[in-house]
Amino acid sequence: MSEYRKNITRCKDKEVLIDALVEMGYRREHIEYHEVPQQLFDWHGQPTCYLDSTGDKAQIIVRRQHVGGAANDLGFKLDPVTKCFDAIISQYDSGKHNQKWLSGLKTSYSAKRVKKELAKNGFKYLGQEMVNGKIQIKYLKMTATF
């Protein structure tokens, strides 16, 4: 048995979350997005009902055949209260999608979210570097001079 568990991510922007999943190794064409949550399936192709008696569902889904090996679907479901996508990861797949993987996903998401917000506010991304064990992101404020 490989029941699903909910993992809080604090990811609110679906496009940025999808970009972060791509950075984590999933191909964009293998990542589904649905306005209405869709059923998740186990490695046998059977619908699951671990978190919800009516069926485990998610809006962002990487289907089991794209997760790799004898895997279950990987999902992200929008929490109506927090407005964040919570990761829905099976117990079996928690070896691959463990806390280290989730931490990497959150780091990627955060960096991409910052880039998106700063670009929207007129900043140009110049690059990043590691300084004393911390990532430093460099931006230039683009101002018009006439």
pLDDT at 135: 76
For 126-140, the pLDDT digits (tens) are 888 888 988 787 888
The CA–CA distances, whole Å, from 64 to 31, 98, 124 equal 11, 16, 38
Give pTM, 2 decimals: 0.86
Q: What is the DSSP string of 11-27?
A: E--HHHHHHHHHHTT--
For 17-45, the pLDDT digits (tens) are 999 999 999 999 999 999 999 999 999 99
C-alpha–C-alpha distance, residues 32 and 19, integer Å: 12
Domain boundaries, the chain: 4-110
pLDDT at 82: 94
